Amino acid sequence: MKQVAIYGASGCGRGVLPIARSQWYATGEPYELVFLDDHSTAGMLNGHAVLTYAQWLERPATSRHVNIAIANSKVREELVQRCEADGVQFFEVRAPNVVQMDEVSLGEGAILSPFVTLTSNIQIGRHFHANLYSYVEHDCIIGDFVTFAPGVQCNGNVVIESHAYIGSGAVIKQGQTGRPLVIGQGATVGMGAVVTKNVPAGATVVGNPAKPIVKNKNFKC
């Protein structure tokens, strides 16, 4: 039997597993679908077993398939490497009402949650997470392990480099042909931010218009 798993039994994983369940059910093939979590002691969650990765590898399988449903992109990458080393295959989780238009290239292992739209001429790397109601407009280029929280509005001609995190409800202004708006590697865009300019790699920006957070040395909590 195929062993199929959603890695992460927390918020992200619980929002993803039901979509995966429908996808695998539709194949008509026998499979077992479980959560993988290295720190949970739940045993069962929403009708599915919760196993550690090591326990999962002990289960007999004709093949193994996983989707890494953990929002932290660095953790996601580490777990991808672990799974790759064991020959585990990655599958995409795509809600049935996702809209995808022309010439979209999407790397393996993505999560496209309900009401996500990808319009035309878009390039997206591996293990992308597009949470509920997010969209990516025309001519965008998105790197690997990029995470969109719910309701991200990514307008046209935007480049988002690998490991960037875009918070819930953020709006990214449209760039221009040949002069895209760029969100740098590992940058964080805060919830509800309105991004009108390039964001440097590693920076955190918040507000409208979005500006980098400047740490106040006098502030103690």
- Name beta bridge partners: 34: 5
Q: Which is nearer to ligand UDP, 57 or 194 (CB)?
A: 57
Each residue 75-114 as x (binds ligand UDP by CB under 6 A) or -, in order, gives: x---x-----------------------------------
138 is catalytic: yes
Contact between 215 and ligand UDP (CB under 6 A)?
Answer: no
Phi-psi region of 173 (alpha: psi -120 to 50; beta: other; left: phi over 0): beta
Q: Of these, 4, 5, 6, 12, which contacts ligand UDP (CB under 6 A)? A: 12
Nearest residue to ligand UDP by CB is: 10
Alpha-carbon dihedral angle through residues 192, 198, 200, 201, given to the nearest 10 degrees? 80
Backbone φ and ψ of 172, nearest 5°: -110, 120
Contact 121, 138 (CB under 8 A): yes
| Catalytic residue of the set 39, 127, 129, 138 | 138
Tokens of 220: 């103690």
Choose the stretch contacting ligand UDP; rule: CB under 6 A; options: 18-26, 31-39, 183-191, 209-217.
31-39
Cα 144 from Cα 95, distance rounded (Å): 20
Cα 88 from Cα 165, distance rounded (Å): 26
CB of 197 to ligand UDP, least distance (A): 28
Q: Is 28 exposed, middle or buried (0-12, 13-18, 19+ CB in 10 A)?
A: exposed
Q: Of these, 5, 6, 16, 37, which contacts ligand UDP (CB under 6 A)? A: 37
Q: Of these, 28, 39, 43, 178, which contacts ligand UDP (CB under 6 A)? A: 39
CB of 112 to ligand UDP, least distance (A): 16
Contact between 71 and ligand UDP (CB under 6 A)?
Answer: yes
212 upstream amide cis, omega within 30 of 0: no
Residues designated catalytic = 138
The footprint of ligand UDP (CB under 6 A) covers: 8-13, 37-40, 70-71, 75, 79
